Amino acid sequence: MTDAYIVGAGQSSFGSFPEETYRTLFREAYEAAAPADLDPGDVDEAFVGTLGVGGRQIGLAGPVVTEHVGLHGVPCTRVENACAASGYALRQAVMAVESGMADLVLAGGVEVMTDTSAEATKYWLGVSGETEWERMAGTTFSGVYAQMADAYLREYDAPRRAMSEVAAKNHANGAKNPKAHLGFECSVDDAEAASVVADPLTLYHCCPTTDGAAAVFVASEEVAASFDDRVRVAGVGAASDRVGLFQRDTYTAVEASERAGETAYDAAGVADPRTDLDFAEVHDCFAIAELLAYEDLGFCDRGEAAALVGDGVTAIDGDLPVNTSGGLKSKGHPIGATGAGQAVEAFDQLTGNAGDRQLDDPERGLTHNVGGSGGAAVVHVFEAEGVSGA
Amino acid sequence: MTDAYIVGAGQSSFGSFPEETYRTLFREAYEAAAPADLDPGDVDEAFVGTLGVGGRQIGLAGPVVTEHVGLHGVPCTRVENACAASGYALRQAVMAVESGMADLVLAGGVEVMTDTSAEATKYWLGVSGETEWERMAGTTFSGVYAQMADAYLREYDAPRRAMSEVAAKNHANGAKNPKAHLGFECSVDDAEAASVVADPLTLYHCCPTTDGAAAVFVASEEVAASFDDRVRVAGVGAASDRVGLFQRDTYTAVEASERAGETAYDAAGVADPRTDLDFAEVHDCFAIAELLAYEDLGFCDRGEAAALVGDGVTAIDGDLPVNTSGGLKSKGHPIGATGAGQAVEAFDQLTGNAGDRQLDDPERGLTHNVGGSGGAAVVHVFEAEGVSGA
């Protein structure tokens, strides 16, 4: 089996662009991702992640954007796993390469979220909850994650302030990212003092509603050799779980993340993520989600996430920087584009192109993308050129 | 690379079941598909095709049905390419097995279409058209295919009656299929005399609005060896095209089908489909689509499709029976379930379990699934146990 490599990755600006369309945003990402020496005629497969409800293209939402960048004829599949849509699209691209059915694959995602009414957006955002018992009962996503936050703070007697520390850290990183939606700093006190959205979550504990697109080119080892930048996909893992939070065994862990991480670590030879990883992009749709991710992915023991962020371990100058891009919190969360967008940051870090956010020669990083409140999760481990297994 | 095998396939009844849900229908298909000696704990990947707009589960529409059959934790991805959703889900399953990332994969699809208002259904069915220039301009799918039919009949001076012969043939087959939605016979004269839906298409030239689900288990060669029934996936092909009909080079051919067929034939070693195939399930959402498929897939030359059906070549007792299941026309077309449902017929034919529709020891068959009016197509070639390449 061939290894899979990322040979190009890029994203549109993330933000509020109601005048843009899924096509124009995807094209912006495609052009940012395309390696200088790409021959589009060599692309032999495409996967596009999008949730894409509302007034936009619904059926054939994949081919409708790939045709717009000129990839007529290339097999294109829309992949949807709610907020993990393009994390799964990337995993499909890796699978296509490893199956031998494709040599150069475009994986990406796109979402336009701000061109509908507030009422439609509320509907929109609820569709990834469990339909009968969450969405139709009126539960919002903030409400679901607030239940997780409340359960976590109680179980471990953790301070709400830990979530504000996550927010302040991610905004500090996002302020250095020219493509971030909310590219400004926010202090811990700002986050603490902000309006409550769903107790205990304040406004700054919640990611914004974002438009954007991201794209990644995945190649076989042989094809990758002809490109200048190469990042190896060292491991991939995915898992599903019951879609409704109320159906799960625990509110204070996301088991799909844990399983996905274990699978990816096994494949990549990551024995201890605390020492074997140099950075991670995790799914911080709400600040509590980042704290849970620390524990689900083995960055610390259960109940220790508040201390991890409090001690600065996950700050950009810490031992294991998390969300150097700004994360969903500050960079933004255009649903279908988020997973591929995380891979863009990993690619930029591992090729030394992360600008003001550049880490000091990172060798290995992780991306972690969650659908809904944990009904699906996918984890990738990436390695810089020349690094071979942990 | 391992070969991929289907080791179990089954479907729910297709019909109008507004009292059922996507979960109950999918479970019915899952139970019909599961081989007697299946250990559900061995399933290590799942792909679910569904369009799934309307009041049903939208985000995480894959995991929400796999959890209902007890597959908690298994990576599950929703795949959508409009009416080709589960044809692509099946292709993803083959890819997963051939990549070595999975050994036993569930691929399926489900759609509930009759539990919404007529107005909602009209919206529903339009979503796979091109949004800006087809759907929002008021074009329906019948209208799109009517344009193709009109262009075809004019270009080749073919009789409308050929479409009625397709309808009569498929209803004759569907009348022998206990799971068919419209399991009754219809004569050529009935089809000719029926109300016009979109000229030149009459009611009997159009498939019904159907609820249903279908499922297929795909295994690696090693795992397949432990099951009683095995059908080899000899070749797979897929292609996309411009989503809007008006953007394409021709109205009288579906280029995505042609490309997908060529790829599948190359992989399967099919030199001449007219002699190397024993049957085919093709995408007859409208009768014109079956005629185009004959030509796109090389069953006859361009302009010869009317003669092919007229001469009985594609009848169940002809040289190349097409749509022995009844096809989308008579068996029904629950969007996301259709592609997997075609594979169910192929599996049943190749394992001698097609009941009153059973062909005489077929060795090799094809399935052909189209999204929208040709924005995506996927073709599989299947071989019975013991047959090795053409």
Q: What is the pLDDT of residues A184-208, one digit of tens each?
A: 999 999 999 999 999 999 999 999 9
Contacts of A53 in chain B (CB under 8 A): 53, 58
What pLDDT shows up at residue B124?
Answer: 65
Q: How far is A186 from chain B (nearest CA, A)?
A: 31
How many angstroms separate the CA atoms of A260 and A163, rounded? 24
Nearest CA in chain B to A102: B95
Nearest CA in chain B to A58: B127
Helices (H), chain A: 22-33, 63-66, 85-99, 118-126, 141-155, 161-174, 188-193, 221-224, 255-268, 273-276, 287-296, 305-310, 327-330, 338-350
Smallest Cα–Cα separation from B331: which of B168, B143, B170, B140? B170
For residue B264, list chain A residues with Cβ-Cβ distance below 8 A: none
Closest partner residue to B131 (CB to CB) among A57, A95, A259 is: A57
Interchain contact, A127 vs B236, CB within 8 Å: no
Give A351's DSSP letter: T
pLDDT at A2 (0 to 100): 79
Mean pLDDT, residues A318-345: 98
In percent, the amount of chain B with pLDDT more than 90 equals 86
Contact check, Cβ <8 Å, A79/B78: yes
Q: Which residue has the tokens 């507030």?
A: A118
Contacts of B101 in chain A (CB under 8 A): 95, 98, 236
Interchain CB distance below 8 Å, B92 and A77:
yes
Question: CA-CA distance, A232 to A227, in Å (whole number)?
Answer: 13
State yes or no: pLDDT of A60 exceeds 70.
yes
Write down the mean pLDDT value for chain A: 94
CB count in 10 Å sphere of residue B351: 17
Q: Give yes or no for residue B390 having a pLDDT over 50.
A: no
- Residue A362 CA to residue A108 CA, distance in Å, equals 24
Say whether B76 and A243 touch across the interface (CB within 8 A).
no
pLDDT digits (tens, 9 = 90+) for A92-117: 999 999 999 999 999 999 999 887 77
Give the pLDDT of residue A1. Answer: 62
CA closest to A256 among chain B residues: B73
State yes or no: is B333 an active-site residue. yes
CA distance, residue A199 to nearest chain B CA (Å): 25
Residue B1 has pLDDT above 70, yes or no: no
How distant is the Cα of B137 from the closest Cα of chain A, in angstroms? 13
Mean predicted confidence (pLDDT) in A301-323: 98
Nearest to B375 among A63, A247, A371 (CB): A63
Give the model confidence (pLDDT) of B250-262 as tens digits: 999 999 999 999 9
B300 is catalytic: no
Q: Is B56 on the interface with A (CB under 8 A)?
A: yes
pLDDT at B129: 77
Model confidence over B109-165: pLDDT tens digits?
999 988 777 666 666 666 777 877 888 788 889 999 999 999 999 999 999 999 999
Catalytic residues of A: 83, 333
User: What token pair was written down for B67?
Assistant: 């959890």
- What 3-state DSSP class applies to A26? helix
- Chain segment A1-40, per-residue pLDDT in tens: 679 999 999 999 999 998 888 999 999 999 999 999 999 9
**Residue B243: pLDDT band with limits 50, 70, 90:** very high
The CA distance from A176 to A325, in Å, is 8
Chain B hits for A60, CB-CB cut-off 8 Å, are 81-82, 128, 243, 371-372, 375-376
What digits encode the pLDDT tens for the residues B60-116? Answer: 999 999 999 999 899 999 999 999 999 999 999 999 999 999 999 999 999 998 877
Flag whether pLDDT at A130 surpasses 70.
yes
Structure tokens at B117: 């208002």
A63 contacts B371? CB cut-off 8 A? yes
Helix axes B287-296, B141-156, angle to 10 degrees: 60
Q: Is the pLDDT of residue A65 over 50?
A: yes
Contact A241 B63 (CB under 8 A): yes
Q: With contact defined as beta carbons under 8 Å apart, do B6 and B231 qualify?
A: yes
Q: What is the pTM of this model?
A: 0.97
Restricting to A residues 211-270, those with a Cβ less than 8 Å away from any Cβ of B are 236, 238-243, 247, 255-256, 259-260
A63 in reach of chain B (CB within 8 A): yes
pLDDT at residue A390 in the model:
39
Residues B202 and B192 sit within 8 Å (Cβ to Cβ):
yes
Per-residue model confidence as pLDDT tens digits over B192-235: 999 999 999 999 999 999 999 999 999 999 999 999 999 999 99
More confident residue, A170 or B385: A170
Give yes or no for B67 touching A (CB within 8 A).
yes
Closest residue of chain B to A135, computed from CA coordinates? B57
Q: Number of CB pairs < 8 Å for A and B?
A: 206
Q: Work out the mean pLDDT of chain B and round it to a whole number.
A: 94
